[in-house]
Amino acid sequence: MTQTDRNRVLIFDTTLRDGEQSPGATMTHSEKLEIAELLDDMGVDIIEAGFPIASEGDFAAVSEIAQRSKNAVICGLARAQLPDIDRCFEAVKQAARPRIHTFIGTSPLHRAIPNLSMDEMAERIEQTVSHARNLTDNVQWSPMDATRTEWDYLCRVIEIAIKAGATTINIPDTVGYTAPRESAELIRRLIETVPGADEVVFATHCHNDLGMATANSLAAVEAGARQIECTINGLGERAGNTALEEVVMAMKVRNDIMPFQTGIDSRKIMHISRRVATVSGFNVQFNKAIVGKNAFAHESGIHQDGMLKNAETFEIMRPEDVGLSGTSLPLGKHSGRAALRAKLKELGVDVGDNQLKDIFVRFKELADRKKEVFDDDILALVSATTEGNADQLQLVNLKVVCGTGGPAEATIEMEIGGTEHSATCQGDGPVDAAFKAVRDLHPNTARLQLYQVHAVTEGTDAQATVSVRLEEDGMIATGQSADTDTVVASVKAYVQALNRLLVRREKLGPGADAREISYKELG
């Protein structure tokens, strides 16, 4: 084995599985396929595409991702149960390089859930890992809540999993409990102690409950782990997971003290970060490392002076290294489609002729309203054209009257199933009035879980991006839209979320359980 091989760190992305489990982050089938393609294209080694036993929708998504994959290993997750493992393999088997990832909770708290003794759990681990290995030669096993599992028992079950045929041993910090020094020591001791440890890849899976997921993952790598489990933007349950962009850029920028390499094309980070934020409805916080809006912004006078003299004074990486262009778009209302396509390509966005046509129309409308059109404005237009024109609910026109003299009033014209309808409602502000008008036209019991607005760019003429999350009968759907009119963007996002609820209800059928098997039931 060469030094380069020893220092190669595999990137295992679980945005589509652990990331999607984040409440409200459910993605549509087409969105999962799109994100998987972007992950594959940027150089992710292993894509955990989903939990095939969770629902028919999850199985279909994992199966199609497996068929479409070009380079990455496609992995599915399965509990330590034979039906789960069989279902998982059925979903991933058409991939050029399939993997089964099976797990069971090994800490005292997690052992109490299935009410298994230590010996009974050890027997199940041997049985299920062996079964998975009989289906494929690429098997990953995880002792869930490993960082709170007794040392002797952890060593025992890892040895059993290795002997049963696991090729990757993942050590999950399921509740974000550990710290960097402890994370490193745990990996180091396991590799030194467990028989057969030198024949498998050790992986680290860290959650961010104490804000140390990235540090814990990098510490594990320094101790010998050679696979990091992570998500785009750190998306995940509770406080999230290790962020892919953070560990990749940390190893790239500080290669002097962390001499490890990944296969990630970092120039594609910003594009996929924006797409994940859009489809999940989880906007990236402004001060988020690497991909936040302020990550390469400088307002302090001292900082600005230093940047003008030498960018390295206050920037340890170039914006271009993560695929960010800091310049405004030199296009206006007289620009043509060729120039727009060239700019989209520069931003890492490839679109077909039909989508370009839609974006170009929206671009012209925006250029008439704005003095400056920025890169982020264009990316917002791209996001606004991702929804199809076959939606049952479509906004036709919106008129709002509001002020200090009384309640706001909104008149909405909508096309519902091909027929136009209109309604006028009053409310506590223009958005409330508009949402009431939509509910008047399309009665529903959906509960608004999240309403979030942020400006895409600066200035009073900036586009507002609005994210809406709705919950109805256990189903969660998000909508997102951008417009220079905040109320218009709000209604479009609300209608988009309602359309997604309609689609999911149609797929499940009347009276069906929205989640079929909830993630809580899956453990």
CA–CA distance from 181 to each of 187, 220, 301, 424 (Å)?
10, 9, 38, 61
The phi-psi region of residue 176 (left if phi > 0; otherwise alpha if psi is between -120 and 50; otherwise beta) is: left
- Residue 511, amino acid: G
d(CA 365, CA 382): 14
- Cα four-point dihedral sign 334, 338, 342, 348: positive
CB 176 within 8 A of CB 206: yes
d(CA 375, CA 385): 16
3-state secondary structure of 235: coil
- Cβ-count burial of 193 within 10 angstroms (0-12 exposed, 13-18 middle, 19+ buried)? middle
Distance of CA 453 to the CA centre of its chain: 20
d(CA 321, CA 420): 48
The annotation status of 18 as a binding-site residue, yes or no, is: yes
Nearest to 249 by CA among 319, 303, 345: 319
d(CA 229, CA 237): 14
Nearest to 95 by CA among 36, 43, 161, 141: 36
d(CA 140, CA 75): 9
Q: Which helix (H) or strand (E) holds 395?
A: strand 393-401
Give the Cβ contact number of residue 220 at 10 Å. 29
d(CA 82, CA 518): 19
CB 280 within 8 A of CB 235: yes
d(CA 469, CA 282): 10
Radius of gyration of the chain (CA): 25
Q: Give the β-pairing of 168-173 and 139-144.
A: parallel
The annotation status of 389 as a binding-site residue, yes or no, is: no
Residues across the chain: 523
Rounded (5°) CA angle 148-154-155: 145
Rounded (5°) CA angle 504-510-515: 50
What are phi and psi for residue 169, nearest 5 degrees?
-110, 115
The annotation status of 205 as a binding-site residue, yes or no, is: yes
Going by the annotation, the residues of the binding site are 18, 205, 207, 241
Going by the annotation, the residues of the binding site for Mn(2+) are 18, 205, 207, 241
